[in-house]
């Protein structure tokens, strides 16, 4: 039975967007509501954080160093040596909207989402930023976009609408074509996800105390229980991509709930027995 362990006690209000920066040997993740970028060196267990001038939620490592990050104010470069923040592409996401989930695809494009910060009351939007830095909206009508992951062959985009409790599989050649991939059971909702080298999708299930591994046909292959109710996103990391890291959150929990799960908001990890899908650095 796989057991998750705590690897960073950051107690994020809304931990999100973990990503592995291979060139630095670091895992990065955000506390969206705390406007903070956290980092961990797994080989030394050293960790730290940088405060940010805007709320950021997801990022990709840059080939030139640092990160390309999606923020509530647009796309920014973050200098991971100094915490420097350079708003490179200011954008108006809409009053009350912020960035949410995102990930670089195997072809080098950065997919990311914007959502209504009021629980996704109004539908949000999906953007794609290409290797030259050009950004365009590609999908509308997703209320709380999560689980953004593109398969190795580039043909399928996995994208959840957490408000609907559903993960969809889109044809990347025609984003108007989609099918239901999986639906969450009970009170849980699909949140951030990561693909492994076998093409299975690992999904952090918000509200359900668990991470679920879905087979390519959408069936549940494995469930890994966590000691926190709100796991929020996952990413493979480590030099061999053999560790799955999982962020979590305490936002929305009552005092009693927080007392019952004192590790809410921490970063967890476990070795699932399969390696992650290698992802490139962002070129621009």
Q: Domains along the chain?
A: 5-270 (2.120.10.30)
As annotated, the active-site residues are 191
Which residues, including other chains, have CB under 8 Å from residue 264's CB and lie 6 or more apart?
A: 11, 228, 229, 230, 248, 249, 250, 253, 257, 258
Q: What is the pLDDT of residue 186?
A: 83
The string of DSSP codes covering 74-91 is EEEEE-TTT--EEEEEE-
CB 72 within 8 A of CB 96: no
For residue 284, is pLDDT > 90? no
Nearest to 263 by CA among 12, 1, 58, 2: 12
pLDDT for 232-247, tens place per residue? 999 999 999 999 999 9
Assess whether pLDDT exceeds 80 at residue 99: yes
Work out the number of other CB atoms within 10 angstroms of the CB of residue 183. 13
The answer to pTM > 0.95 is yes
- Torsion angle of alpha carbons 39, 45, 46, 48, nearest 10°? 30
């Amino acid at each position: 039975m796989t057991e998750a362990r705590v690897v960073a006690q950051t107690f994020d209000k809304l931990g999100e967007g973990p990503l592995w920066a291979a060139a630095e040997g670091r895992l990065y993740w955000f506390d969206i509501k705390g406007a903070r970028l956290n980092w961990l060196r797994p080989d030394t267990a050293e960790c730290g954080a940088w405060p940010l001038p805007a709320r950021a939620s997801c990022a990709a490592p840059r080939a030139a160093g640092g990160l390309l990050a999606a923020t509530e104010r647009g796309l920014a470069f973050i200098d991971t040596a100094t915490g420097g923040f350079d708003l490179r592409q200011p954008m108006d996401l809409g009053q009350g909207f912020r960035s949410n989930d995102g990930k670089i695809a195997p072809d080098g494009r950065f997919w990311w989402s914007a959502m209504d910060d009021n629980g996704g009351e109004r539908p949000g939007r999906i953007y794609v930023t290409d290797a030259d830095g050009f950004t365009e909206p590609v999908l509308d009508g997703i209320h709380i976009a999560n689980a953004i992951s593109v398969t190795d062959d580039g043909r399928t985009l996995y994208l959840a609408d957490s408000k609907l409790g559903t993960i969809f599989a889109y044809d990347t050649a025609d984003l108007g074509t989609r099918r239901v991939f999986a639906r969450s059971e009970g009170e849980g909702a699909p949140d951030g996800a990561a693909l492994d080298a076998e093409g299975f999708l690992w999904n952090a299930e918000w509200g359900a105390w668990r991470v679920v591994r879905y087979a390519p046909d959408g069936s549940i292959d494995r469930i890994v229980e966590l000691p926190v109710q709100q796991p929020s996103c996952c990413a493979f990391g480590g030099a061999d991509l053999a560790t799955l890291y999982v962020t979590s959150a305490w936002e929305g929990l009552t005092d009693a709930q927080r007392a019952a799960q004192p590790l809410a908001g921490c970063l967890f990890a476990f070795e699932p027995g399969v390696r992650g899908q290698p992802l490139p650095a962002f070129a621009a």
